[in-house]
Amino acid sequence: MSYTPAAGGEHTRAVSPPSAAVPAERPMRMPVHRATTYAFDTSQDYADVLSGAQQGYSYARIDSPTVDAFAEAVAALEGAGLPDRVRGQAFASGMGALSTVFMALTEAGSHVVASRSIYGNTYSLLDRLLRRFGVRTDFVDITDLDAVREAVRPGTAVLFTETLSNPTMTVSDLPGLAQIAREAGAALVVDSTFASPAVCRPLEYGADVVVHSATKYIGGHSDTTGGVAVAAPSFIDRIRSARVDLGPCLAPDEAYLLHRGLETLPLRVQRQCGTAALFAAALQDHPLVERVDHPSLDSHPQAALAAKLFDPGRYGAVVTVHPRGGWEAGMAFADRLRVATIAASLGGTHTLAGHVASTSHRNMNDVELAAAGISPGAVRFSIGLEDPQDLIGDALAALGGN
């Protein structure tokens, strides 16, 4: 590599070292661009990139090559079965993605129809935070399409659901909801974190925007935080504009780790889903268990719908167990586990467990929990990559108090 030394004094030379060579060979790992700022040859080039007249990068909060590569990789998975190209936008967290999407698609006076059974912080965002800015939300039984249709009104801007609800694993009728949204002129926004594109791709069934907490299955190793939204360009342009103003940008190093996680996503999720089905079947008839939530079970209300919408043999890797005895029984059940670990989040290589009412859904009161179908003792398992029989034996021993 030839190099012409920078002119000037030692400090000028110190901050103007040789640039790294761009190899002719194709690297097997995606490069990480950590730069926050990018230089231009002319002021007009700088202005054109900022205005969008010219493609390029100026400032990492606006766009980053590494972050864009990750977002577009997710878009390639989510839009694999679509005739038209979709695009992605990445965020610092799943809630950052979801909050930005709602800010982009609503305004004061807007109305949202949302599933009653959703993640606790999403419920709080809609019912408390956005309400302060004049956005009203009606929460409905998302499995009752007539109730959803009745909740829609002239100001409805967004119909929101989760592919698989947290934590009851309720399956949304995505084609039916998409039809209602189209008739109302509203956007169907789907949080597909619990499914991942390795189980279901909501855009194929008519959703307008799909959102993920990439921290979970996409990253897959409990070592990075991020979020992503995928949609047609007309929606993504609005979402990107809101992201730039709000600032929840994803860091390049996080984007690299999340991009790496995509490479093993189908392998991990296939195994996790298989183990989850075995785990659910082994616990559903236990005398100390009131109910087990997993769409692979014939007892699940949307088992047939799941078989129709999901990739074969993949019904999600979260299993929620409702032990008899209420809050105290659920806490004791979780505390007695030895293979599964009590911890936040999901989608990683380790099986994680948590008492739902005191953790992920702590923002909901008893009435709201009951309406969402969550019992006081419910324990959510995010199934990892351990041997199925070890997880089953651990849970059965914990239920029995041994």
Q: What is the 3-state secondary structure (H, E, C) of the chain?
A: CCCCCCCCCHHHHHCCCCCCCCCCCCCCCCCCCCCCECCCCCHHHHHHHHHCCCCCCCECCCCCHHHHHHHHHHHHHHCCCCCCCCEEEEECCHHHHHHHHHHHHCCCCCEEEEECCCCHHHHHHHHHHHHHHCCEEEEECCCCHHHHHHHCCCCEEEEEEECECCCCCCECCHHHHHHHHHHHCCEEEEECCCCCCCCCCHHHHCCCEEEEECCCCCCCCCCCCCEEEEECHHHHHHHHHHHHHHCCCCCHHHHHHHHHHHCCHHHHHHHHHHHHHHHHHHHCCCCCEEEEECCCCCCCCCHHHHHHHCCCCCCCCEEEEEECCHHHHHHHHHHCCCCCEECCCCCCCCCEEEEHHHCCCCCCCHHHHHHCCCCCCCEEEECCCCCHHHHHHHHHHHHHCC
Q: Which CATH class is domain 64-262?
A: alpha beta
The reported pLDDT for the residue numbered 366 is: 86
Domain extents in the chain? 64-262, 265-400
Asked whether the domain spanning 265-400 has the same topology as the one spanning 64-262, the reply is: no
Q: Is the pLDDT of residue 1 over 70?
A: no
Band of the pLDDT at 3, cuts 50, 70, 90?
low
Q: Is the pLDDT of residue 245 over 90?
A: yes
Q: 90 with 276: CB under 8 angstroms?
A: no
Catalytic status, residue 308: no
The active-site residue out of 87, 116, 201, 216 is 216
Chain centroid, CA 213 distance in Å: 3
User: How far apart, in whole angstroms, are the C-alpha atoms of residue 365 and residue 347?
Assistant: 26
pLDDT digits (tens, 9 = 90+) for 305-356: 999 999 999 999 999 999 999 999 999 999 999 999 999 999 999 999 999 9
Averaged over 274-294, what is the pLDDT? 97
User: How far apart, in whole angstroms, are the C-alpha atoms of residue 209 and residue 229?
Assistant: 7
Q: 105 with 187: CB under 8 angstroms?
A: yes
Q: 127 with 115: CB under 8 angstroms?
A: no
pLDDT digits (tens, 9 = 90+) for 340-396: 999 999 999 999 999 999 988 887 888 888 888 899 999 999 999 999 999 999 999
Q: 316 with 294: CB under 8 angstroms?
A: yes
Q: Is the pLDDT of residue 401 over 80?
A: no
The reported pLDDT for the residue numbered 13 is: 82
The reported pLDDT for the residue numbered 4 is: 62
- Closest by CA position to 227, among listed 110, 356, 117, 121: 121
Tokens of 139: 């929460």
Band of the pLDDT at 297, cuts 50, 70, 90?
very high
The active-site residue out of 61, 128, 153, 308 is 61
The active-site residue out of 119, 123, 217, 256 is 119
Catalytic status, residue 29: no
The active-site residue out of 191, 208, 293, 394 is 191
Q: Is the pLDDT of residue 81 over 60?
A: yes
User: How far apart, in whole angstroms, are the C-alpha atoms of residue 296 and residue 301?
Assistant: 10
pLDDT digits (tens, 9 = 90+) for 178-230: 999 999 999 999 999 999 999 999 999 999 999 999 999 999 999 999 999 99
Which CATH architecture fits 265-400? Alpha-Beta Complex (3.90)
Range with lowest mean pLDDT among 10-14, 227-231, 269-273, 329-333: 10-14
How many beta carbons lie within 10 A of that of residue 179, not counting itself?
15
